[in-house]
Amino acid sequence: MPLSAKRRAALSWRTLLPWVVGVLPVLCGLGVMNWQIEREMQASSQATTRQVVAHVEHMLDSLASAANALLPLAGSPCDEVQLRLRAEVTRNAFVRSTNLFRDNSLYCTSLFGDFDEPVNSADYVDGKLWLMDGNSVTPGHPLLVYRASAGNHGAISTVDGDHLLTALRLIGPDVDLHIRVGSAWMGKDGIVHKGVPPAAASANVLLGSTRYPFSVQGGYAVDHQGALWRSHYPALLALLLVLGAVAALACRWQLRRANSPRAELRRALEADEFLPYFQPVVRKGDYRWAGAEVLMRWNHPQEGLVRPDLFIPYAEHSGQIVAMTRALMMHTAQSLAPYAGLLEDGFHIGINITADHCSDLRLLDDCRTFLQHFPPGRVLLTLELTERKLIEPTPVTLDLFEKLDAMGVKIALDDFGTGQSSLNYLRQFKVDYLKIDQSFVAMIGADALSVHILETIIELSAKLGLGIVAEGVETEAQRDYLARHSVDYQQGYLFARPMPAAQFLSMLATQPGASRLPQGAPPEIMRG
Ligand code: C2E
Ligand code: CA
Ligand code: CA
């Protein structure tokens, strides 16, 4: 329902909102999914790291068992204990070699027997564990060494770095894992480095053993999160997109519905935004105000005062015109009733009605309620009927018109001469007045054919005994022409434009011969 051209700002947020509503669930969903993925990664990194710790502890248990079994032999001559050293290697799955030392010197090994190499307890974290990058037998090949000591002698057992590497690779194939022993660490490259291993891009976890002085660091590389997205969530992602689209469409539909002419009219009706404007109708001879036509105006909160031709067609189409007219009649009665003293007896009040009003008898109640606001005989209610929607002469309508007539309500045929059914209406319903359409009045003095039609209508009304009202009188020439042809009533800008109730009452009070001014009439009405 375009009420004016200035609706750009409202339009832009209406266009934007469905996008926001559509994108929001997708973003929220992506956020939740991302959070879920991060949680999963954290949990999996934690579990993998814990498994590696447990596995290395298991290897070290083997090493510790061998070293502790040999510890009482430390200090004994090598040739006496060498076989025991070898037996421990054989007995323990992870043990690669066993050794004995005394006075900071390694003097016996399972591999060579007698040996001589310095042992420095400072190399061992907590005096127990050393991640070596190789020894004299296998230089450059990692070894994890366990040392059990009592005083200045003790036993040493080793596990091959390959066991560690296999554990790292098999337990967490897609996790970045590093074993840290003191300042040495080893990752999946199988090389022992010094310092601190690089932190993983995400789900970084550092878990220390409670039994041995080492820790394992785990986490995921940068691209792992993306890979998880691609492998785990395509179906959910598609569902989210569909949900977003549905939400956006639903929002657009709701906005359109809320913004539909029907919803807008309902809102306006509830907000009491429809006002009566009054245009005086003058009588022949003295041109005094004999009545007024009530014309609806929409006092729109944004658009200001809206003309009826911009919204009445929608109201008629949706059937809301009936409720709107009822509210308008109530408004009119409440505005005029306190100043009924300004109205002469039989003052015409014209209300525009449409075919919808004629389909049931509720119009009777509306008219009765309207008239009850005024002293009897003060107001002559006239219903103005147009041919925009045809009225069918059903038993209900015929009954309605009869009862209206009995109540003293008059019927005027509006815009007479412009429709095809004007004459039909005259035959079927009891009509009291003809309102000559303003297009004929405008042709006075200009178009011979229209003037002929005008004269024919005037003659017809006289023959049928109908009152006649000419609308749209704008010039004195038109007024005088109509006066010469004894047209009963005239209405038009020449006399007055439609105006709000206060102005109408105030001008009415200054009409010559205005009497019966009400007690306590407001000053603006008295001023005129
Ligand atoms: P209408 O019933 O034929 O009302 C007369 C229209 O002519 C009014 O326009 C009035 O302002 C205008 N008019 C009066 N004198 C002159 C004049 O000298 N020159 C010109 N050019 N125009 C003049 P308005 O108020 O804009 O109403 C337009 C139409 O809207 C009305 O035509 C009527 O059909 C409809 N309307 C207005 N109020 C209501 C209502 O409450 N209910 C219904 N159903 N229709 C209404
Ligand atoms: Ca009218
Ligand atoms: Ca008219």
Structure confidence by residue, pLDDT tens digits, 364-395: 999 999 999 999 999 999 999 987 777 888 88
Distance 501 CA to ligand 1 centre (A): 16
Q: Which of 279, 303, 315 is nearest to 471 (CA)?
A: 279
Distance 462 CA to ligand 1 centre (A): 25
Higher pLDDT, 447 or 299: 299
Distance 472 CA to ligand 1 centre (A): 9
Ion ligand 2 residues within 5 Å by Cβ? 352, 384, 414
Distance 471 CA to ligand 3 centre (A): 6
Nearest-atom index, ligand 1, CA of 308 = 30
Residue 421 has pLDDT above 80, yes or no: no
Residue 355 has pLDDT above 80, yes or no: yes
Nearest-atom index, ligand 1, CA of 296 = 38
Segment 84-98 shows an average pLDDT of: 94
Decide: 66 and 157 in contact? Cβ < 8 Å. yes
Distance 464 CA to ligand 3 centre (A): 20
Share of the chain above pLDDT 90, in %: 66
Testing ligand 1's pocket by substitution, the residue of 314, 352, 433 carrying the most ligand atoms inside 8 A of its CB is: 352
State the pLDDT confidence band at 525, using cuts at 50, 70 and 90: very low
**Nearest CA owner, ligand 1 atom 41:** 296
Structure tokens at 204: 């970084």
Distance 419 CA to ligand 2 centre (A): 14
Rounded Cα gap, residues 382 and 208, in angstroms:
97
Nearest-atom index, ligand 1, CA of 474 = 18
- Residue 44 CA: distances (Å) to CA of 57, 340, 359: 20, 87, 75
Q: Classify domain 48-219 at the CATH topology level.
A: Beta-Lactamase (3.30.450)
Sequence-separated (6 or more) residues with CB below 8 Å from residue 261: 1, 311, 314, 318
Distance 399 CA to ligand 3 centre (A): 26
Residue type at position 163: H
Structure confidence by residue, pLDDT tens digits, 9-55: 555 677 888 899 899 888 998 899 899 999 999 999 999 999 999 99
Rounded Cα gap, residues 368 and 260, in angstroms:
33
**Nearest CA owner, ligand 1 atom 27:** 308
Share of the chain above pLDDT 70, in %: 94
Rounded Cα gap, residues 288 and 403, in angstroms:
31
Q: Convert 389-403 to b/e letters by CB count within 10 Å (16 or more is b).
A: eebeeeeebeebbee
Nearest-atom index, ligand 1, CA of 498 = 11
Q: Classify domain 275-516 at the CATH topology level.
A: TIM Barrel (3.20.20)
Structure confidence by residue, pLDDT tens digits, 452-478: 888 988 998 999 999 999 999 999 999
Structure confidence by residue, pLDDT tens digits, 405-419: 999 999 999 988 887
Nearest-atom index, ligand 1, CA of 415 = 3
Domain residue limits, the chain: 48-219, 275-516
Rounded Cα gap, residues 217 and 197, in angstroms:
8
Sequence-separated (6 or more) residues with CB below 8 Å from residue 181: 125, 129, 130, 131, 144, 213, 214
Decide: 70 and 88 in contact? Cβ < 8 Å. yes
Residues having CB within 6 Å of any atom of ligand 1 = 279, 295-296, 307-309, 312, 321, 325, 328, 352, 354, 384, 386, 414-415, 438, 471-474, 491-493, 498
Instruction: Tell me whether residue 258 is exposed, middle or buried, using C-beta atoms within 10 angstroms of its C-beta: 0 to 12, 13 to 18, 19 or more.
Output: exposed
- Residue 403 CA: distances (Å) to CA of 213, 265, 297, 362: 107, 31, 29, 11
